[in-house]
Amino acid sequence: MRSPKRITSILLGVLTLCPCAAWAQAGREAARQVGVVTTLAGDVTVARATLPSPVPLRFKDDVLLRDRIATAERSLVRVLLGGKALLTVRELSSLTITEETGRSTVDLSSGKVALGVLRQRMRPGEVIEIRTPNAIAAVRGTVLVVELIPQPGGSPGAPRYTTKVSVLHGLVEVSDPNNPAAPPAQVGTMQSWSRTGSDASVLVPLTPPAVQQVFSGLQAAPQITQGPQELIEHVTAREQARALAVAEFLAPEPTGAGGGGDGNASGAAMAGAGSGTIASGIIDAPVSPLVSGTPGATGAASGTGGAVSPPTGQAQFLYNGQSVTLGSLYTLSGSQREALDVPILEAVSSALAITGQAVDISGAARFTSTGSAPLLFLDPSTLTASSLLSLSGSADASVAGALLQDLDGALTLRADFLRLTGASHLQGTGTSALIDLAGTSATTTAGVLSAGGSAMLDLLNASAPLLSLTRSAALATGSSLADISGSAAVQLGQLAALTRSTLAVQGHALSLAGSARMTVTGDLFRLAGGSAMTITNGALLNLSGASILNVAGALVNFLGSGNSLSITNNLCAGGTCTMIGTIPVLITGGGTVNLGQNPFPNLGQNGNTLTLSPNAAVIAVSGSAKVNQGQ
């Protein structure tokens, strides 16, 4: 049995140790990193609980929980927060950064800050707040500027302030810290909210001159000798990529044209920041549009006349009259999930150069778009990229509207428009064409659709084509228009519909191989309004292996007058083809072709023509492949 003296000693020891443990825990909490300095100009200090007095903040320094940052005159600092947001602090500003589960807070006590948040990196329910004495701005995927302006009429213990919240992109909820039960104000793209003291708030449109004023003091050349390359050595490559991506927006050039980053920096110090390319090869899209010389303007006149404006103005990335170089516009990977009710991109009178895929979804990621507006919208703009959409692994994507709508623009792709590999799945649930080109001039070194492995494409609405060309649109491919292989399965209403447009295919119009299957509930192709489809070095249909094509409607439906289909190949050389009606068909092995009574309606009428080169086959089938049309 322990003596009372022994028990007393133990209790005293516990009582002595407990405060130390608590202090140690508090010390560890205070030392927790919440950010890293990516740009610094002038004199910036940090006050920290573990330091007796404020010390200078330096480039690449960690920012810790509850650090108080203050900028002197003609100074600026940018802090990357958690790899998902970039905070820009202008001169004569003071703030404290805190965190709790699902919530990061920037407590602004004076001055002006800009915050850009990469929405796709925010976890469900996560929020970043900017707090002032009379406002709380809640940010989830937004670009905004918050300014705290002292006003006369206050007292030493209760100063009077005006808070201004200017939203460049996205939606911000602004609430009253002194009345949490009141509904928050909704501040949207190109809107400015302000409130003085406890007075009623005011919400006004953000005009182009106001945008320039908003960014006053948020641009500066960094006073450092090294830039992104040194950051890569001290901060992870991924953090640096994210920092530069967000910085592209938060330091816009007054002249526009998409430079981004620290526009006044010279030489190699900022190489890559303006282009969005990181030396490590890791590339992310900017968090939001770069501000052009006339931000908020409606844009130039389109080919249809009148001012151009995006369908929603709420896209994650908005560009107007800009030239922008990006790595990848939107990515999901691993087991990430995202559901969007707004478009990813809306670009007006802009030039976009994307070095990778426009949209890249991989691994087991799941993406859902519920809005009816096009996911990617261009009017009239130029776009270069590898692919518009790449799905790999077991990735799954569902799109309610068009994937792409382009009006009077120019597209140049280095790979297929759509690339589906592995066990990926793409589903279109709307009535729009998945790819809608109106008045567009488009070229690709590959085709429109490539599906392999066990990938699946489902366009559930029977009337929706995969590809629509209208208003004198022109598309030229460097290989087969659609190439389906492995055990991939495709179901759609139409493969392609042309109205007063041209389609030039190098290769087969449709190629099926392996055990691939395609089911078409309507016509495979439609030509209307004097459209022209040209196939060079390929057939209309080429099936091999155990692939199967089922077409309920016509193979090519000629609507109206003046439409033409031209096919050039040498598949029938040596007299190996047979005629099914007037159509030369090459059948080898045990392949079968079952055609209905009229696979080419209106052909030979009203100037609708089919032109075949000598020895050309319209259909080629080998192995045990099957073509069933009109059955």
pLDDT digits (tens, 9 = 90+) for 118-127: 766 777 778 8
Q: What H or E segment, with its residue span, contains residue 247?
A: helix 237-250
Query: At residue 291, does pLDDT exceed 60?
Result: no
pLDDT at position 101, please? Answer: 78
pLDDT at position 284, please? Answer: 33
Query: At residue 283, does pLDDT exceed 60?
Result: no
Query: At residue 34, does pLDDT exceed 70?
Result: yes
Looking at residue 258, what DSSP letter applies? Answer: T
Mean pLDDT of the chain: 81
pLDDT band, residue 509 (cuts 50/70/90) = very high
Q: What is the mean pLDDT of residues 203-219?
A: 75
Query: At residue 244, does pLDDT exceed 50?
Result: no
Rounded CA-CA distance 139/86 in Å is 12
Please give the C-alpha separations between residue 578 and each of 512, 603, 611, 617, in angstroms, as whole numbers.
21, 20, 17, 9
Q: What is the mean pLDDT of residues 398-405?
A: 95
pLDDT band, residue 251 (cuts 50/70/90) = very low
pLDDT at position 67, please? Answer: 95
Tokens of 406: 């382009």
pLDDT at position 308, please? Answer: 57
Which residues are bridge partners to 535 per DSSP? 505, 567
Q: Are 222 and 39 in contact (CB under 8 A)?
A: yes
Helix/strand/coil (H/E/C) assignment for every residue in 340-366: ECCCCEEEECCEEEECCCCEEECCCCE
pLDDT at position 157, please? Answer: 66
> For 572-623, what is each residue's pLDDT tens digit?
998 889 999 999 999 999 999 999 989 999 999 999 999 999 999 999 999 9
Rounded CA-CA distance 399/403 in Å is 7
Q: Are 492 and 525 in contact (CB under 8 A)?
A: no
> For 98-108, what is each residue's pLDDT tens digit?
988 778 899 99
Q: Please state whether beta strands 578-580 and 541-543 pair in parallel, antiparallel, or not at all (unpaired).
A: unpaired
- Residue 587's SS3 state is strand
Query: At residue 289, does pLDDT exceed 80?
Result: no
Higher-confidence position of 297 and 577:
577
> For 426-482, what is each residue's pLDDT tens digit?
999 988 899 999 999 999 999 999 999 999 999 977 577 999 999 999 999 999 999
pLDDT at position 397, please? Answer: 97
590 φ, ψ to 5°? -105, 25
Nearest Cα neighbor of 554 from 602, 513, 518 is: 602
Q: What is the mean pLDDT of residues 543-562?
A: 97
Q: Are 374 and 403 in contact (CB under 8 A)?
A: yes
pLDDT at position 218, please? Answer: 64
Most confidently modeled range among 139-153, 326-340, 369-383:
369-383
pLDDT band, residue 31 (cuts 50/70/90) = low
Higher-confidence position of 30 and 252:
30
Most confidently modeled range among 256-260, 324-328, 373-377, 572-576:
373-377
Query: At residue 272, does pLDDT exceed 80?
Result: no
pLDDT band, residue 411 (cuts 50/70/90) = very high
Which residues are bridge partners to 293 per DSSP? none
Q: What is the mean pLDDT of residues 11-30?
A: 43
Nearest Cα neighbor of 329 from 347, 356, 351 is: 356
pLDDT band, residue 216 (cuts 50/70/90) = low
Most confidently modeled range among 39-43, 259-263, 325-329, 597-601:
597-601
What is the secondary structure of 2-38 as a DSSP string?
--HHHHHHHHHHHHHHHHHHHHHHHHHHHT-EEEEEE
Q: Are 391 and 425 in contact (CB under 8 A)?
A: yes
Question: Which range has the worst mean pLDDT, 85-89, 209-213, 518-522?
Answer: 209-213
Question: Which range has the worst mean pLDDT, 4-13, 519-528, 590-599?
Answer: 4-13
Strand-by-strand arrangement of the 548-551 sheet: 337-340, 366-369, 396-399, 425-428, 456-459, 489-492, 517-520, 548-551, 626-629, 592-594
Q: Above pLDDT 90, what percent of the chain?
A: 56
The alpha carbon of residue 75 and the mean position of all alpha carbons in its chain are separated, in whole angstroms, by 33
Query: At residue 1, does pLDDT exceed 70?
Result: no
pLDDT at position 93, please? Answer: 94
Helix/strand/coil (H/E/C) assignment for every residue in 286-310: CCCCCCCCCCCCCCCECCCCCECCC
Please give the C-alpha separations between residue 561 and each of 438, 468, 473, 503, in angstroms, as whole numbers.
20, 18, 18, 17
**Is the pTM of the predicted complex or chain greater than 0.75?**
no
Query: At residue 268, does pLDDT exceed 80?
Result: no
Query: At residue 258, does pLDDT exceed 80?
Result: no
pLDDT at position 301, please? Answer: 31
Q: What is the mean pLDDT of residues 225-241?
A: 35
